[in-house]
Structure 1
Amino acid sequence: MTASFQGLPTTDALDLLRTGELTVEGRLTDASNTTLYCTVSGGGRRAACVYKPVAGERPLWDFPEGTLAGREVAAFAVSDALGWHIVPPTVHRDGPFGEGMVQLWVDGDPGVDLVALARDVRHPGLRRMAVFDAVINNSDRKIGHLLPTRDGHLYGCDHGVSFAEVYKLRTVLWQWQGEPLPDAALADLDALHARLQTAGSAVATELARHLTRPEGYAVRRRVELLREHRIHPYPSPEWPSVPWPPV
């Protein structure tokens, strides 16, 4: 699947995010960590983006301090390797407030009822997102993290609290638990597994850069379990299954 973001192919979007001049335009005050709305420009190109500096990350008891930005980049790498384009182009770079995550901005469709969307059992993009969250062990898939666009594509955001070594899947997308995984998803998981096993692949490189070795191994193991059991996972009885608040 070929993707473009704000009219830019993925490679061009990543290059702009990495090398362009970052200008802070404002702050998203609803976010729990410092999240800045920016523009990035260079080479005659200009795009809107989100910048989350590491210095603005709130410490968490269950994730190493200063690692959330890198986990967002790792989530993009997995999304890109799957070919599902769930996560907009995301890079780790220096900025006005130090190193952090910079992600291309996605304009959501304000006409979509997000609560109704989150309950949909027929939306193929939403079902892929449920599988993606199982791969990255997303512990915070809220309704407000769904970004449907006017062209019908579904993106997701805020993947900083993902990739824990232990099973911590918390999501509002449990409607497929225990159901067989779609054949197309299994084929893409096979391809992802091969890339994760290939030293020097883009996804293997990014995971090694931003995750610990046990966390990287856990990603591969989760993919193997999904391929082996061929069903959507169940919630853990030892961990809250839905983030709070769910929106």
Structure 2
Amino acid sequence: MNKTSEAIKSANLIVIGRLVDASNATLQATLENTDPVMKVIYKPVLEEKPLWDFADGNLANREYAAYLLSELGDFNLVPTTVLREGPFGFGMVQEWIEIDEELDVVDFGQSNDPQLRKLALFDAIINNTDRKFGHLLVDHDGKLRGCDHGVCFHQENKLRTVLWQFAGEQFTAEEIELLNKVNKLDLDSSFAELLTSAEISALSGRIANLLAVRQFPFPSDEWPAIPWPPV
């Protein structure tokens, strides 16, 4: 466990604000006794709003599952994330990313930046139903990370994203390598406490299908392809 992970896992959380645009309670907090002071996002399970197509009280698990797959598969796209107790109960705590406020994230999100291709592939694997432009975090060094993965890993195909610019494009050798890496993971042991057996089976099936077709998926004609609002 690196220093950032250890601090996020164990340091006391001091809530300093709330992100009012979020659909669920999303709190900004600092970690006590860190120098420099570290900021995090804290999403307590008790404040999760029920969804008709996802089980109650497990959005935090899906956030952590996305981080875990990102790490195990060497995508390195999700900020450090843990599950832990906090001032308002058990929930997800994630590293705060200081974004480049000068960057037009909508313009960037419609570009062909290779980091976006990687994220689009990641989203296809985890079946992200809510990839918005506002979920693209680009720091001052130009590094991209993605956030808000609470509605991922559904067993039914529900991919909704603003990153359709790669649809139909053939995977590169590097992307095939990433898929092969996640295909070799022991998904059952890694995700058994986070997802249902049906969801893990569907995850395995998506990986196998992507390896078979070797190209980015197209939008479905059975549901909206882009989440609303898209930002």
Deviation at 1:11, TM superposition (A): 2.3
Are the equivalent residues in 2 in contact too, given 1:16–1:45 (CA < 8 A)?
no
The residue number in structure 2 matching 1:73 is: 64
Are the equivalent residues in 2 in contact too, given 1:19–1:42 (CA < 8 A)?
no
Q: Residue 41 of structure 2 aligns to a residue in which SS?
A: strand
The residue number in structure 2 matching 1:3 is: none
The residue number in structure 1 matching 2:153 is: 163
Pick aligned residue for 1:188 from 167, 178, 183? 178
Identity of aligned residues (%): 45
| In the alignment, structure 1 residue 115 sits paired with structure 2 residue 103 | no
Deviation at 1:45, TM superposition (A): 7.0
- What does 1:211-222 correspond to in 2, within 5 Å? 211-222=195-206
| In the alignment, structure 1 residue 230 sits paired with structure 2 residue 181 | no
Per-residue CA deviations over 1:52-104 (Å, capped at 9, x if unaligned) read 00011111101000011110000001111221211100011111101000000
Q: Residue 175 of structure 1 aligns to a residue in which SS?
A: helix
Are the equivalent residues in 2 in contact too, given 1:235–1:241 (CA < 8 A)?
yes
- What does 1:114-153 correspond to in 2, within 5 Å? 114-121=105-112, 123-153=113-143
Distance 1:40 1:224 in 2: 40
Distance 1:117 1:86 in 2: 16
Between stretches 180-189 and 127-136, larger displacement belongs to 180-189
Pick aligned residue for 2:41 from 38, 45, 50? 50
Superposition CA RMSD, Å: 1.4
Between stretches 94-103 and 188-197, larger displacement belongs to 188-197
Alignment size in residue pairs: 231
The unaligned stretches of length 5 or more in structure 1 are 1-9
Distance 2:5 2:33 in 1: 12
Deviation at 1:41, TM superposition (A): 3.1
The residue number in structure 2 matching 1:240 is: 224
TM-score, normalising length: structure 1: 0.90
Per-residue CA deviations over 1:121-180 (Å, capped at 9, x if unaligned) read 2x0101100000000000000011111111111011101010000000000000111110
Distance 2:186 2:217 in 1: 21
Deviation at 1:209, TM superposition (A): 1.4
Distance 2:56 2:192 in 1: 17
The residue number in structure 2 matching 1:105 is: 96
List structure 1 runs of 4+ shifted beyond 2 angstroms: 41-46
Q: 1:16 to 1:124 in 2, by over 3 A?
A: same
Deviation at 1:42, TM superposition (A): 5.0
The residue number in structure 2 matching 1:22 is: 13
Distance 2:140 2:185 in 1: 32
Distance 2:158 2:83 in 1: 24
The unaligned stretches of length 5 or more in structure 2 are none
